[in-house]
Chain A
Amino acid sequence: GENVEQHPSTLSVQEGDSAVIKCTYSDSASNYFPWYKQELGKRPQLIIDIRSNVGEKKDQRIAVTLNKTAKHFSLHITETQPEDSAVYFCAASIWNNDMRFGAGTRLTVKP
């Protein structure tokens, strides 16, 4: 089955800096890669996703890149703000089935 590894487990940046979280997956058949943000005491929420036929996707300050050959994908947050502080989870699945999550990255943005 699919195995998703995520790093770093914790990340601390200064407000305004960029943050990058990386994930690798094992099953070359995986074709859908969502990212979730979980704020303290709240439910995980989908913030951006990418399909395997696309190499990069942007939504304002966040972007996701995918390298199918190397089987890794990354979340990029630019101009970080304190409200970006949360735990971020990557995931991989085949057509939205058998979704596997990474272990999470706790991002802290210091003002």
Chain B
Amino acid sequence: EADIYQTPRYLVIGTGKKITLECSQTMGHDKMYWYQQDPGMELHLIHYSYGVNSTEKGDLSSESTVSRIRTEHFPLTLESARPSHTSQYLCASSDQQREGQFFGPGTRLTVL
């Protein structure tokens, strides 16, 4: 079934650790996005990509990086996690043929 997958779903780590949040989609979409969201609050765009080897920064500077080597895969890396990074991270994808963005289940990150 076409869907968006995120791993891990929950992560608790210590300050200063480097982590990578995984996002994969089998929707066949060319565009992918990362959002940071405190539960039930505003969606903040962190990074987005309109295709392979294309990445752009969003409005929220979160000291993270992304890569888009394969169409279906869009990992987010935090080089040095801080308690302020504690939040939920949502991955989404879209394309021109079908409107709207489709979201993954999210990764809930806690940095101690």
Contacts and interface: CB of A to CB of B under 8 A. Distances in A.
Interface of A: 32, 34, 38, 40-46, 49, 87, 89, 91, 95-96, 99, 101, 103-104, 106
B103 interface: yes
Interface stretch (B17-25, B38-46, B60-68, B71-79): B38-46
Contact of B99 (A40, A43, A49): A49
Nearest to A91: B101
Contacts of A89: 43
Nearest to B104: A43
Decide if the interface of chain B is mainly helix, strand, loop or mixed: loop
A103 B90 CA distance: 16
B103 A49 contact: no
B40 A38 contact: yes
Contact of B102 (A40, A46, A49, A101): A46
Interface residues of B, number: 17
A46 B4 CA distance: 14
Interface hub of A89, A91, A101 (most chain B Cβ within 10 A) = A101
B40 A106 contact: yes
- For the complex of A and B, list the 7 residue pairs with the smallest distance between their C-beta atoms, beginning with the closest: A43-B103, A46-B100, A103-B42, A101-B43, A87-B40, A34-B100, A96-B99
B55 interface: no
A28 to B, nearest CB: 19
Interface in B30-69: 39-43
Contacts of A101: 42-43
B62 to A, nearest CB: 17
